[in-house]
Amino acid sequence: MSTNGATKLIEVTDLQMHFPLRQGIILQKQVGAVRAVDGISFDVFEGETLGLVGESGCGKSTTARLLTRLLEPTSGMIVYKGNDIAHSSRAELKPLRRDMQMIFQDPYSSLNPRKTVGSIIGEPFIIHRLERDDDKRKKLVQELMDRVGLNPEHYNRFPHEFSGGQRQRIGVARAIALKPKLVVADEPVSALDVSIQAQIINLLSELQRELGLTILFIAHDLSVVRHVCDRVAVMYLGKIVELAEADQLFDHPRHPYTGALLSAVPVPDPVLARAKQRQVLGGDVPSPTNPPAACRFHTRCPKARDGVCNVDEPLLEPKEGGNIAACHYPLTGDEIAKRVPTAAV
């Protein structure tokens, strides 16, 4: 889906989230910080599915929590409907919570085991005082259950009586109960069996079409992201390193980290597997308390050049093919073809 002419739902500018590290005997002084999100800017357009990918510690989950204001950012702006909500108070945020909902990763721990399914899905109505009448609310909840593929007769059952996939459906039902504008799905299918993942992915797509949802889809599984998302942002150590339409990103990734990610994904095709010269990225992700200078990726990048990559921080700029990437030496067509046999270059 092209973003030309689409309206922006959320505009994020220079968002930062630093978790302080303190030390001291009586007075705890801040000695450093975990720079989980270190200055990212992007837009979320209405109706699109924006994917946010990266590995552990890249800051994608923190970004999700910042957008829904479960966390207050250290600095930066989050503009929603013309207002900067980055530092809004709880009272100011409450009406916005109807518009922004979250689906969580672990279907086993994100549902209160002591509440029935009916009361879990019905809670949003109570919190926002939308349907006080118990019977009417029950009807609404049962409609929702049916919509997500659950049996409405299980209204009074408890989470432990459902399977993982069904529990995730409960989470989805709760998230869409108030017809939000934005749904942030934080790894919604990672904890599910392979044959169930497709069910949930299809469900989310259907609901998006039906309700006109905007979805921020956070995942580490690139195959899933490619399937579900219109645009994708790749994060590394708290920064966005590449942002592009899904076709562009997967057909010709420009940032070497994106290339490494795609190269690493094992493809269920033995022929392709043999043909691929996989680029194995050495070493570990550096600590977010002490990220490398300038380009964060330069310590592991096969294309890094001393004097450039460790001195000048690259800006997010358009590269060949339409991708926006932060890199001094983006991948060439040849490099992509060798390492990512699934790319169309």
Among 340, 161, 166, CA closest to 249 = 340
On whether the CB atoms of residues 248 and 234 are closer than 8 A, the answer is: no
Nearer to another protein (CB atom), residue 42 or residue 250: 250
Among 158, 171, 56, CA closest to 107 = 171
Least gap, CB of 45 to another protein (angstroms): 19
Which strands form 8-23's sheet, in the order they lie side by side?
Answer: 29-45, 8-23, 75-80, 83-84
- Dihedral (CA of 289, 292, 296, 299) sign: negative
Least gap, CB of 219 to another protein (angstroms): 10
Least gap, CB of 330 to another protein (angstroms): 19
Least gap, CB of 154 to another protein (angstroms): 14
On whether the CB atoms of residues 22 and 29 are closer than 8 A, the answer is: yes
Nearer to another protein (CB atom), residue 193 or residue 317: 193
Helix (H) or strand (E) segment spanning residue 102: strand 100-103
Least gap, CB of 328 to another protein (angstroms): 21
Per CB under 8 A, residues contacting another protein are 23-26, 55-56, 163, 165, 193-199, 201-202, 220-224, 226-228, 246-247, 250, 260-273, 278, 280-282, 284-285, 341-342
- β-bridge mates for residue 218, sequence order: 52, 186
Least gap, CB of 97 to another protein (angstroms): 31
Nearer to another protein (CB atom), residue 93 or residue 264: 264
Least gap, CB of 140 to another protein (angstroms): 27
On whether the CB atoms of residues 170 and 150 are closer than 8 A, the answer is: yes
CA distances from 171 to 54, 212, 214, 309 (A): 23, 18, 17, 43
Count of CA atoms in the C-beta half-sphere (13 A) of 298:
21
Distance CA 171, CA 77 (A): 29
Token look-up 């069904």 returns 166
Type of residue at 211: L
Least gap, CB of 211 to another protein (angstroms): 19
Least gap, CB of 247 to another protein (angstroms): 7
Among 233, 226, 281, CA closest to 257 = 281
Distance CA 114, CA 137 (A): 20
Length of the chain: 345
Alpha helices per DSSP H over the chain: 60-67, 90-93, 117-127, 134-147, 164-176, 194-211, 222-228, 246-251, 256-264, 270-275, 333-339
